[in-house]
A = this chain, B = another copy of it.
Amino acid sequence: MVTIGDVARVAGVSRSTASYALSGKRSISAEVRQKVEQAVQNLGYTPNAGAKALATSQTKVLGLLARFLEDEFAPAMLQYILGVTNRAREAGYDTLLLTEEDGASALKRISDSRMVDGFILLNVAENDDRLGILRDAAQPGSLVGLPGDPTGIDVFDLDFVTAGRLMVETLHALGHRELILVSQPEHVLERGGAYVWRLANAAQERAAELGVELHHHFGSSSQPEIGGELVGLLDAHPSATGLLLNNEAAAAALPNVLQSRGLSAPADISVIGRYSDDFARTFSLPYSAIDSAADELGRLAVEHLISRIEGTADAESTVVDLVAPRIDDRGSTAVPPTRH
């Protein structure tokens, strides 16, 4: 293994000079810097990460706590993971991926052993057992997902309240007066998936304000159950003209359901979903949808975390950044059909 001692010897300088020449933390004569850089090149020197971490108390690694739950759409998680790792690398950080069931103990273990400089928590629940540990940890953290009590922690999430309102408002403006909202399964909510009711409640409220009738249903998370439920809902509410889907499985099942009933969107029914563009492309889902903004949330969370680590963030106050929802228009909304 080639060390900075080898570099120093070959360059004919001391180890401290070699170190300073590489870090640029004090001025070095051009000549010496040349020699050091040359030696680094020739020897193929790369600093030992463990030694550096020990000396500086900085690992240049972020801990990424994923949380995979039944009844949630796992591939969506991949978008967040990639958003985080890619942005982190751009900023000079690598990512330790933690996927074990018990996220709280993983967080404690990694924090105590000083393996990372900070944490990103994905899929944060309303009352997340990882938050207590994070607040006591020596390293800062950013959440992707808004918990019930975000005190003292930086949070990034889609603005699900505005998303719920936006869905209703968009169809109301087109003239719709009776809508169906299909959420994710109630299990998700019970487990702390607060975004489900945040969107649903906001939609309900906004519908009430606008005089729109809204039928809310917690759907299943997989086929073929959700297909059957969609059929049931359309049967139960034959005069509904719009369908709001906060449930990936429902979106994937809908094309079949509509086709089998001889319906098409938006001629017969308007549809707005809530899923990633990537999901839409893979399955060519033809419905306008509020994007999950996974990539953007990952980037924001990483950028803010790094500013905390490096001390450039305001130490006095934390941030709750709710990203404004944006509808990817795929042409599945229109004025409601006129009844005869």
Binding site for B on A (CB under 8 A): 1, 44, 46-51, 53-54, 59, 61, 64, 68, 73-75, 77-78, 81-82, 85-86, 89, 94-100, 109-110, 112-115, 138, 222-224, 227, 249, 252, 255-256, 259-260, 278, 281-284
Contacts and interface: CB of A to CB of B under 8 A. Distances in A.
A222 B96 CA distance: 31
Each complex incorporates copies of this chain amounting to 2
Given A64-B97, A74-B78, A77-B78, A48 B113 contact: yes
Contacts of A59: 50
A94 B115 contact: yes
Nearest to A82: B99
B282 A113 contact: no
Contacts of A113: 46-49
A82 B68 contact: yes
Closest 5 CB pairs of A and B: A223-B284, A46-B112, A50-B53, A75-B75, A97-B97
A207 to B, nearest CB: 30
A50 B284 CA distance: 47
A48 B114 contact: yes
A97 B81 contact: yes
A125 to B, nearest CB: 20
Contacts of A282: 73-75, 222-223, 249, 252
Contact of A97 (B46, B85, B278): B85
A110 B94 contact: yes
